[in-house]
């Protein structure tokens, strides 16, 4: 049975019990995992300049897109459980970037809103995507195609994992 972490052979030759398919360099999952670490190394000094960690930056990006999101919608977009997201939001609140309040229309919902200080971070953050593009050594169109393919893969895996 083929390892789901390794793509099947290109020539559709069936695997036999003696085939060694456990080669880390051939794992798509490891390529994505290690690329994530490489991204974090590039992001870290850029985000240090604006005082955010990468997960905090992702929350801020969502709030710059649409302020006043619920904690639930943030968790859904970021694929994070509330037990992971809540401490992250508390830290952003302690830094003065966001405010958490109960939704007056539905007290069960907590809304997260940018403060003036949080909105002010948007301007210096605008330079970050260009720095990432430059660090990639790739063209914007190539990265967009790659992002779309990885997103489709992620979505397929999430559907399969339910």
CATH of the domain at 119: 1.10.10.10
Q: Is the pLDDT reported for residue 162 higher than 90?
A: no
93/97 Cα distance (integer angstroms): 6
Q: Where are the alpha helices (DSSP H) in the chain?
A: 28-48, 54-65, 71-78, 82-94, 116-120, 122-125, 128-136, 140-160
Q: What is the mean pLDDT of the chain?
A: 92
At what angle are helices 128-136 and 140-160 packed, to 10 degrees? 100
Non-local CB neighbours of 46 within 8 Å, separated by 6+ positions: 127, 128, 131, 132
Q: Encode pLDDT of 57-81 as tens digits.
A: 999 999 999 999 999 999 999 999 9
Predicted pLDDT at 1: 44
| pTM given for the model | 0.85
Alpha carbon dihedral 158, 131, 44, 151, in 10-degree steps, equals 0
Look up the domain containing 85 and give its range: 29-126
Q: Encode pLDDT of 80-102 as tens digits.
A: 998 999 999 999 999 999 999 99
Q: Is the residue at 22 inside a domain?
A: no
What's the total number of domains in the chain? 1
- pLDDT band for position 18 (cuts 50, 70, 90): low
Section 142-151 average pLDDT: 97
Q: Exposed, middle or buried: residue 100 (CB in 10 Å: 0-12, 13-18, 19+)? A: middle
Q: Is the residue at 46 inside a domain?
A: yes
Q: Is the pLDDT reported for residue 113 higher than 60?
A: yes
Q: Is the residue at 94 inside a domain?
A: yes
Q: Cα 131 from chain centroid? A: 17
Q: Give residue for tokens 């999101």.
A: 69
Q: Is the residue at 114 inside a domain?
A: yes
């Amino acid at each position: 049975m083929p390892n789901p972490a390794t793509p099947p052979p290109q020539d559709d030759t069936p695997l036999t019990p003696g085939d060694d398919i456990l080669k880390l360099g051939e794992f798509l999952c490891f390529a994505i995992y290690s690329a994530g670490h490489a991204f974090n190394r590039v992001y870290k000094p850029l985000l240090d300049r604006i005082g955010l960690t990468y997960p905090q930056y992702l929350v801020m990006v969502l709030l710059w897109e649409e302020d006043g999101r619920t904690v639930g919608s943030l968790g859904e977009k970021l694929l994070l459980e509330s037990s992971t997201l809540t401490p992250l939001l508390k830290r952003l609140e302690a830094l003065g970037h966001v405010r958490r309040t109960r939704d007056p229309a539905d007290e069960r919902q907590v809304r997260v809103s940018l403060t003036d200080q949080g909105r002010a971070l948007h301007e210096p953050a605008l330079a970050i995507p260009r720095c990432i593009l430059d660090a990639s050594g790739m063209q914007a169109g190539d990265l967009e195609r790659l992002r779309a393919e990885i997103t489709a893969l992620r979505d397929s895996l999430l559907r399969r994992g339910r």
